[in-house]
Amino acid sequence: MAMPAMPSWMSRFVASYSSEWTLWEARAAAGSQPSLPYTGLAFLICMNAFYLLFTFGLYRFMEQRKEAFNCKPFKSILLAYNAICVALAGYVVWGIVYILATEDRSFVCNTTVTPGSAEDKSGSAAFLAQVFWVFYAQKFWEFLDTWFFIARKSFRQVTFLHVFHHCSINLVVGLILPFEFNGDMYLPILLNAAVHVLMYSHYLVSALGLPTPWRPFLTSLQLLQFMLIATQSAMSLSRGDSCGGPYFGKIVLVGYMGSMLLLFGNFFLKSYIFKKPTGFGDGVVKRAEAFQVTRSHSGRVTLDAEGAGQVELPSLFKNGTLHYQVTPIGAPMPELHVSREPEASDCSFALAGGSANASVSWTVTMVTTLAGKAERPKAPVLSCCAQPTNPQEASPKLSPPPSPVKKAQ
């Protein structure tokens, strides 16, 4: 039986990819192919496999660890990391804007120019290829995003969208970059780098305890960039092979931008319209849900002269997984954290890193899992520590687990 013929678009895709490799070999033989290391398919597959394995391994480790990494050296590392991300993305934005200001470029149908060729009149082809490669290399540096979130036990931020984006964007750019290193790719790279300048600036500034008024617009800006990139690629496709980059690259970008629009659109609806919480993986990690009982206890505490404090809890809070929410009152306290959890001999937790003599509002939620059929537990006897001021605070509620640990605002 004869093999079924490939769809016409797929045949064109394969032919386009093969043709681009032929052109790449010719440029390499002539010494005019820009140096774009680590863009091979084998490297991309290995790096993404490592990213996924390390991500889930770190998650399992931090799931068992009682405390998140919140020490001062770790926070200094986070500040330095975000500053480097802003600098790298800012360099890419500057490089492309400089070219746009000195050359005549259009929204679509910009031809890829070989460095040193007759078409490279301004001599900027190699420079723009180098700027594009910096953007590509930063995608691997940004793997640290995920690992820092997990190290801080901020599991809710490691969604399926987050993981998928980090292990796919480098693949998309790496597949196209060796063949389109200064053409229409300027727009996707410029838009994404600009969004990342704003995003990492938000992380950096908020870590310093300062407001970031552009934060509410980040998701909308991300959706807008995907729409513009998809529009450019669709227009290029409709105008034929003579417009813009290779056919296979246009197909990859249209498909990828479509997936990003769906995933970011779903995230936008859940987070801002329906306001549904997200958990670790948001579809990546699947596990059977057991019956869970939650109890909450809340209050205020005044910190001492060193910015530390101790909070007494009912004795039953020794017997489950605790989730903390601490909110500084009066002024930001970016270093505020839970420094010690309740122990077998002491049902209290400690705060540190706050401002001297400041007030802090706190809520502690205990989660216990019941095997089999859920039953309403008997009211516990509070034999030590402070009694709850509200009798309802000691009564259990059957509900899904609360959101993970929240960092002090």
By annotation, the residues acting in catalysis are 165
What is the helix (H) or strand (E) element at residue 338, kind and residue range? strand 337-340
What is the rounded CA–CA span in Å between residue 107 and residue 188? 11
Q: Where would I find the H helices in 269-350?
A: none
CA 54 to CA 151: how far, in whole Å? 12
In whole angstroms, give the CA distance from residue 5 to residue 201: 50
Cα 160 from Cα 192, distance rounded (Å): 19
Among 113, 111, 109, 112, CA closest to 238: 109
The three-state secondary structure class of 373 is coil
Task: Tell me the HSE value of 117 on the side-chain side, using a 13 A CA sphere.
Answer: 14
Note whether 97 and 194 are within 8 A (CB).
no
Distance, in Å, from the CA atom of 171 to the CA atom of 162, rounded to the nearest integer, reads 15
SS3 296: strand
70 neighbors 153 (Cβ within 8 angstroms): no
CB-based contacts of 303-306 (< 8 A; 24+ apart in sequence): 303/351, 303/354, 303/355, 303/356, 303/357, 303/358, 303/359, 303/360, 304/356, 304/357, 305/356, 305/357, 306/352, 306/356
What does 233-283 look like in DSSP terms, one character per residue?
HHHHHHT-TTSSS-HHHHHHHHHHHHHHHHHHHHHHIIIIIS-----TTSS
Q: Which residues of 154-171 are buried (b: 16+ CB within 10 A; e: fewer)?
A: bbbbbbbbbbbbbbebbb
What whole-number distance in Å separates Cα of residue 367 and Cα of residue 56?
23
Strands of 359-370's sheet in order across: 321-329, 359-370, 291-302, 397-398
Q: Which amino acid is at 227?
A: M
Task: Indicate the residue type of 101.
Answer: A
Of the candidates 89, 57, 334, 102, the residue with the CA atom closest to the CA atom of residue 200: 89
